[in-house]
Amino acid sequence: MAPRGSKRMREPAMADDEPATAPTYFEAAAIETWKVQLAKEWHFQAPQDFFTVYGIARAIAPDAPLGAFKKAIGIELTGPFVALASDSVADLPTPVFLHGRQFYDPPEVITVATCDAFHLGYHRDAPKQLPTCLVQGTRDSGEFAIVGQSLVDVLHAKLVGCTDGSALLPHFTLHVQKLNATTRKTKRSTLSDAASVALATRESAWTAPTLSGLGIAVPVHAKTGVGFRELPTQGRQLRALLQKPRGKDLDDLLTRANIACDECEFGTTLQLGLDLFTQRNVFESEAQKLLDVAYLLLHRGAFSTVLRQHVQRIRNE
């Protein structure tokens, strides 16, 4: 349920000679209550950006905030947004963090917006970590594109590029101006610019790439390098291998990943597990076994819970 008093929006008072500031939609106490709920029930550390989007949505459509952007760009808010709009959502799954989750979403991705063609989600490397980027995926692929660092920015850019979105742009203007000032972006910045910056930032932070396009970030000892070792087959070669019937080459990789894990190279196990998850229609069992161990040893146990429940739900459908 939404925190008491959370439906009350307030706009900061401005004198005529003061510069416009982005509106604050919710009391700090309401946001803190939501944060606790989202961390406990959704394994999601919600950034301020998340609450800003919901505030904009409710300013546009007070009675149906989850659908505030649907008419203009076909996008509906989903996933953890229902915790903020709990009075208007029925028949949530058990556990609730499965709501909005797409077939190929790894535990690191939590979908927050969806439309017929794609879905948007926050990505983070650990359950207790704030999201580092926004990603876009489709229902029939395990590959994702990194599209930005702010959901406000991504939605604004999509509205700018849509003829039906002009009426909603004023709701974003002050927030985007503030964001641009913080990141030193110009008025000519586009969604592709935001994606390029977000991708470069992500690539600089990851330990190794993955077939999903999202990469992994794990602790690696500065002197010994223990924490991750490369497997002999990666990237395009691994993608090609996974298109073939399972044979000794894949069995060899699984053995190497397990040995690496025994030798504290947990990132190796995580990487192969996530790579196999991009082909979960074939290698779901193998992926889950690797990821369960990797998440446990990397102290990311909540992700193992998300994965187990996600897989079980798909099997039951």
Residues 224-278 pLDDT 10s? 999 999 999 999 999 999 999 889 999 999 999 999 999 999 999 999 999 999 9
Angle at 258 between CA 269 and CA 311, to 5 degrees: 55
Q: What is the Rg, in whole angstroms, of the alpha carbon atoms belonging to the chain?
A: 21
Instruction: Name residue 137's amino acid.
Output: G
Assigned token pair, 120: 């948007």
The CA distances from residue 129 to 47, 115, 166, 192, 276, in Å, are 10, 26, 34, 25, 24
Q: Give the helix/strand (H/E) hosting 123.
A: strand 119-123
User: What is residue 248's predicted lDDT score, i.e. its pLDDT?
Assistant: 95
- Give the pLDDT score at 165: 82
19 pLDDT above the threshold of 60: no
pLDDT at 183: 55
Q: What pLDDT is recorded for position 186?
A: 47
What's the order of all strands across the beta sheet hosting 76-77? 76-77, 109-114, 119-123, 133-137, 144-148
What is the pLDDT at residue 8? 37
User: Regarding predicted confidence, which is higher, 310 or 182?
Assistant: 310
Query: Average pLDDT, stretch 67-73?
Result: 95
Q: Which of 14-18, 64-68, 105-109, 286-290 is predicted with the least confidence, judged by mean pLDDT?
A: 14-18
Q: What is the pLDDT of residue 17?
A: 38
Average confidence (pLDDT) over 180-200:
68
Sequence ranges of the domains in the chain: 31-205, 235-316
pLDDT at 5: 42
Reduced to 3 states (helix: H, G, I; strand: E, B; else coil), residue 69 is coil
- Three-class SS of residue 102? coil
Backbone dihedral region for residue 2 (phi beyond 0: left; psi -120 to 50: alpha; all else: beta): beta
The predicted structure's pLDDT at residue 232: 96
At residue 163, the pLDDT reads: 80
Residue type, 128: K
- Residues 188 and 78: their CA atoms lie apart, in Å, by 30
Distances (CA, A) of 49 to 54, 55, 171, 218, 313: 9, 10, 14, 25, 30
State pLDDT tens for residues 152-178.
Answer: 999 999 998 788 888 899 888 888 876
How high is the pLDDT of residue 22? 61
Mean pLDDT of the chain, nearest integer: 89
Predicted pLDDT at 180: 63
Contact 146, 108 (CB under 8 A): no
Q: Residue 12: which pLDDT band, with cuts at 50, 70 and 90?
A: very low
Confidence of residue 182 (pLDDT cuts 50, 70, 90): low
Whether cis (ω within 30° of 0) applies to the bond prior to 107 is no
- The residue with greater pLDDT, 94 or 294, is 294
What average pLDDT does the segment 105-116 reach? Answer: 98
Q: Which two tokens stand for residue 40?
A: 């406990």
User: What percentage of residues in the chain have a pLDDT greater than 70?
Assistant: 87
- Per-residue pLDDT at 2 exceeds 50: no
pLDDT in tens, 128-143: 999 999 999 999 999 9
Residue 162's pLDDT is 83
Cα–Cα dist 293/273, whole Å: 10
Residue 14: its pLDDT value, please?
34
Which carries the bigger pLDDT value, residue 184 or residue 111? 111
CA count, 13 A, side-chain hemisphere, 30: 21
Neighbours of 254 (CB within 10 A): 19
- The average pLDDT across 79-106 equals 88
Computed from CA positions of residues 254, 102, 6, 20, in that sequence, does the dihedral angle turn out positive or negative? positive
Residue 18: per-residue pLDDT: 39
Q: Of 158, 161, 176, which Cα lies nearest the Cα of 69?
A: 158
pLDDT at 164: 82
Mean pLDDT value of segment 26-41: 95
